[in-house]
Amino acid sequence: MNHRRIICIGREYGSGARLISQKLGERLGIKVYDKVLLEQVAVEYGLTEEAISKADEQPAGWLDMGFPRGLRNPYKDTYDALFYVLNDKVFDLQAKTMKKLAAAGSCIIVGRAGEEVLKNDPDMVSIFFHAHRPDRVKRIMEYEGIDAATAEKRIDKVDKSRANYHDYYSSKKWGRCATYDLAVCTSSFDTETIIEALVQFIEASA
Protein backbone atom coordinates (compact mmCIF):
# COMPACT_ATOMS: atom_id res chain seq x y z
CA MET A 1 0.00 0.00 0.00
CA ASN A 2 1.85 3.03 -1.31
CA HIS A 3 -0.81 5.62 -0.52
CA ARG A 4 -1.09 6.83 3.06
CA ARG A 5 -4.14 5.34 4.72
CA ILE A 6 -5.44 5.83 8.26
CA ILE A 7 -7.90 3.13 9.31
CA CYS A 8 -10.06 3.78 12.38
CA ILE A 9 -11.92 0.80 13.79
CA GLY A 10 -14.98 0.68 16.02
CA ARG A 11 -16.18 -2.64 17.38
CA GLU A 12 -18.70 -4.52 19.43
CA TYR A 13 -17.19 -6.51 22.26
CA GLY A 14 -16.63 -10.07 21.12
CA SER A 15 -16.89 -9.26 17.41
CA GLY A 16 -13.36 -10.48 16.70
CA ALA A 17 -12.14 -7.02 15.73
CA ARG A 18 -8.88 -7.43 17.64
CA LEU A 19 -7.74 -10.41 15.55
CA ILE A 20 -8.98 -8.91 12.30
CA SER A 21 -7.17 -5.63 13.01
CA GLN A 22 -3.92 -7.46 13.72
CA LYS A 23 -4.18 -9.56 10.57
CA LEU A 24 -5.14 -6.55 8.48
CA GLY A 25 -2.14 -4.65 9.81
CA GLU A 26 0.13 -7.57 8.93
CA ARG A 27 -1.36 -7.82 5.46
CA LEU A 28 -0.96 -4.08 4.78
CA GLY A 29 2.39 -3.84 6.54
CA ILE A 30 1.27 -1.10 8.92
CA LYS A 31 1.18 -0.82 12.70
CA VAL A 32 -1.94 -1.37 14.78
CA TYR A 33 -2.57 0.83 17.83
CA ASP A 34 -4.89 -0.51 20.51
CA LYS A 35 -3.65 -0.96 24.08
CA VAL A 36 -0.18 -0.01 22.83
CA LEU A 37 -1.58 3.49 22.28
CA LEU A 38 -2.03 3.80 26.04
CA GLU A 39 1.60 2.91 26.62
CA GLN A 40 2.71 5.51 24.10
CA VAL A 41 0.55 8.20 25.73
CA ALA A 42 1.92 7.30 29.16
CA VAL A 43 5.50 7.59 27.96
CA GLU A 44 5.01 10.79 25.96
CA TYR A 45 3.18 12.71 28.67
CA GLY A 46 4.63 11.25 31.86
CA LEU A 47 1.41 9.66 33.12
CA THR A 48 1.19 6.24 34.68
CA GLU A 49 -0.28 3.45 32.55
CA GLU A 50 -2.56 2.59 35.47
CA ALA A 51 -4.11 6.07 35.52
CA ILE A 52 -4.63 6.05 31.75
CA SER A 53 -6.09 2.54 31.74
CA LYS A 54 -8.70 3.47 34.35
CA ALA A 55 -9.90 6.36 32.20
CA ASP A 56 -9.50 4.57 28.86
CA GLU A 57 -12.77 4.48 26.88
CA GLN A 58 -14.65 5.70 29.95
CA PRO A 59 -16.70 8.91 29.79
CA ALA A 60 -16.48 11.32 32.69
CA GLY A 61 -19.31 10.88 35.20
CA TRP A 62 -20.72 13.00 38.00
CA LEU A 63 -18.67 11.15 40.59
CA ASP A 64 -15.51 12.04 38.64
CA MET A 65 -16.48 15.68 38.67
CA GLY A 66 -16.66 15.95 42.43
CA PHE A 67 -18.70 18.30 44.59
CA PRO A 68 -19.87 20.97 44.52
CA ARG A 69 -18.66 22.21 41.15
CA GLY A 70 -16.12 19.75 39.87
CA LEU A 71 -12.72 18.26 40.44
CA ARG A 72 -9.82 20.39 39.36
CA ASN A 73 -7.74 18.65 36.77
CA PRO A 74 -4.30 17.96 38.34
CA TYR A 75 -2.53 18.77 35.06
CA LYS A 76 -3.79 22.34 34.88
CA ASP A 77 -2.98 25.25 37.15
CA THR A 78 -5.96 27.48 36.53
CA TYR A 79 -9.54 27.20 37.73
CA ASP A 80 -10.91 26.99 34.20
CA ALA A 81 -10.27 23.27 34.68
CA LEU A 82 -13.53 22.80 36.60
CA PHE A 83 -15.43 19.89 35.06
CA TYR A 84 -12.28 19.05 33.08
CA VAL A 85 -11.40 15.75 34.70
CA LEU A 86 -8.81 13.03 34.19
CA ASN A 87 -11.02 11.18 31.69
CA ASP A 88 -11.12 14.28 29.49
CA LYS A 89 -7.39 14.79 29.87
CA VAL A 90 -6.70 11.22 28.78
CA PHE A 91 -8.98 11.66 25.77
CA ASP A 92 -7.17 14.86 24.79
CA LEU A 93 -3.75 13.22 25.15
CA GLN A 94 -4.85 10.18 23.16
CA ALA A 95 -6.25 12.46 20.46
CA LYS A 96 -2.94 14.30 20.21
CA THR A 97 -1.10 11.00 19.97
CA MET A 98 -3.49 9.70 17.28
CA LYS A 99 -2.96 12.80 15.19
CA LYS A 100 0.80 12.51 15.58
CA LEU A 101 0.74 8.84 14.53
CA ALA A 102 -1.51 9.59 11.57
CA ALA A 103 0.75 12.42 10.44
CA ALA A 104 3.71 10.05 10.52
CA GLY A 105 2.11 7.59 8.08
CA SER A 106 -0.36 4.77 7.56
CA CYS A 107 -1.70 3.02 10.66
CA ILE A 108 -4.71 1.29 12.19
CA ILE A 109 -6.28 2.79 15.30
CA VAL A 110 -8.72 0.62 17.24
CA GLY A 111 -11.48 2.24 19.30
CA ARG A 112 -11.16 5.45 21.30
CA ALA A 113 -13.44 7.38 18.91
CA GLY A 114 -10.64 7.48 16.36
CA GLU A 115 -12.96 8.32 13.47
CA GLU A 116 -14.13 11.39 15.39
CA VAL A 117 -10.63 12.54 16.31
CA LEU A 118 -9.37 12.14 12.74
CA LYS A 119 -12.57 13.06 10.90
CA ASN A 120 -10.85 15.92 9.04
CA ASP A 121 -8.04 13.71 7.76
CA PRO A 122 -8.68 13.11 4.02
CA ASP A 123 -6.91 9.74 4.16
CA MET A 124 -8.99 8.29 7.00
CA VAL A 125 -11.47 5.45 6.51
CA SER A 126 -13.63 4.13 9.33
CA ILE A 127 -14.86 0.56 9.83
CA PHE A 128 -17.21 -0.91 12.41
CA PHE A 129 -17.21 -4.62 13.28
CA HIS A 130 -20.26 -6.32 14.74
CA ALA A 131 -21.42 -9.91 15.10
CA HIS A 132 -24.43 -12.04 16.04
CA ARG A 133 -24.92 -12.30 19.79
CA PRO A 134 -24.33 -16.11 20.08
CA ASP A 135 -21.04 -15.79 18.22
CA ARG A 136 -19.93 -12.99 20.49
CA VAL A 137 -20.83 -14.96 23.62
CA LYS A 138 -18.93 -18.00 22.36
CA ARG A 139 -15.85 -15.94 21.47
CA ILE A 140 -15.77 -14.21 24.87
CA MET A 141 -16.23 -17.51 26.70
CA GLU A 142 -13.24 -18.97 24.88
CA TYR A 143 -11.09 -15.85 25.09
CA GLU A 144 -11.68 -15.08 28.77
CA GLY A 145 -12.42 -18.59 30.04
CA ILE A 146 -15.81 -17.67 31.53
CA ASP A 147 -19.30 -19.16 31.38
CA ALA A 148 -22.11 -18.00 29.08
CA ALA A 149 -23.98 -15.99 31.72
CA THR A 150 -20.84 -14.06 32.67
CA ALA A 151 -20.01 -13.50 29.01
CA GLU A 152 -23.49 -12.07 28.41
CA LYS A 153 -23.04 -9.60 31.26
CA ARG A 154 -19.57 -8.64 30.07
CA ILE A 155 -20.84 -7.93 26.57
CA ASP A 156 -23.61 -5.67 27.85
CA LYS A 157 -21.27 -3.82 30.20
CA VAL A 158 -18.43 -3.27 27.72
CA ASP A 159 -20.72 -2.30 24.83
CA LYS A 160 -22.53 0.20 27.03
CA SER A 161 -19.23 1.67 28.20
CA ARG A 162 -17.90 1.98 24.66
CA ALA A 163 -21.12 3.55 23.41
CA ASN A 164 -21.24 6.06 26.28
CA TYR A 165 -17.58 6.97 25.79
CA HIS A 166 -17.92 7.38 22.04
CA ASP A 167 -21.13 9.39 22.18
CA TYR A 168 -19.76 11.58 24.97
CA TYR A 169 -16.90 12.75 22.76
CA SER A 170 -18.50 12.46 19.32
CA SER A 171 -21.43 14.12 17.57
CA LYS A 172 -22.31 10.76 15.98
CA LYS A 173 -23.65 7.56 17.51
CA TRP A 174 -21.54 4.50 18.27
CA GLY A 175 -22.43 1.46 16.18
CA ARG A 176 -24.73 3.21 13.73
CA CYS A 177 -23.91 2.67 10.06
CA ALA A 178 -24.05 6.41 9.30
CA THR A 179 -21.10 6.96 11.64
CA TYR A 180 -18.70 4.80 9.62
CA ASP A 181 -17.59 4.30 6.03
CA LEU A 182 -18.11 0.55 6.28
CA ALA A 183 -19.81 -1.89 8.67
CA VAL A 184 -18.86 -5.57 8.67
CA CYS A 185 -20.71 -8.48 10.28
CA THR A 186 -17.99 -10.90 11.29
CA SER A 187 -20.53 -13.71 11.74
CA SER A 188 -21.23 -13.77 8.01
CA PHE A 189 -17.73 -14.43 6.71
CA ASP A 190 -14.51 -16.13 7.79
CA THR A 191 -11.55 -14.00 8.82
CA GLU A 192 -9.55 -14.42 5.62
CA THR A 193 -12.53 -13.46 3.45
CA ILE A 194 -13.04 -10.34 5.56
CA ILE A 195 -9.36 -9.41 5.27
CA GLU A 196 -9.44 -9.80 1.48
CA ALA A 197 -12.56 -7.66 1.23
CA LEU A 198 -11.11 -4.99 3.51
CA VAL A 199 -7.89 -4.79 1.52
CA GLN A 200 -9.87 -4.22 -1.68
CA PHE A 201 -12.08 -1.64 0.03
CA ILE A 202 -9.10 0.25 1.45
CA GLU A 203 -7.22 0.21 -1.84
CA ALA A 204 -10.31 1.38 -3.72
CA SER A 205 -10.80 4.26 -1.29
CA ALA A 206 -7.23 5.52 -1.71
Q: Rg of the Cα trace of the chain? A: 18
Domains in the chain: ranges and CATH: 6-200 (3.40.50.300)
3-state secondary structure of 1: coil
pTM above 0.85, yes or no: no
Orientation angle between helical segments 191-205 and 17-28, nearest 10 degrees: 50
Number of Cβ within a 10 Å radius of residue 61: 11
The tens place of each residue's pLDDT in the chain, 206 residues long, gives: 568 999 999 999 999 999 999 999 999 999 999 877 877 887 787 777 776 666 666 655 544 444 333 443 433 433 344 444 567 778 888 899 999 999 999 999 999 999 999 999 999 999 999 999 999 999 999 999 999 999 999 999 999 999 999 998 899 999 999 999 999 999 999 999 999 999 999 998 86
Report d(CA 181, CA 168) in Å as an integer: 20
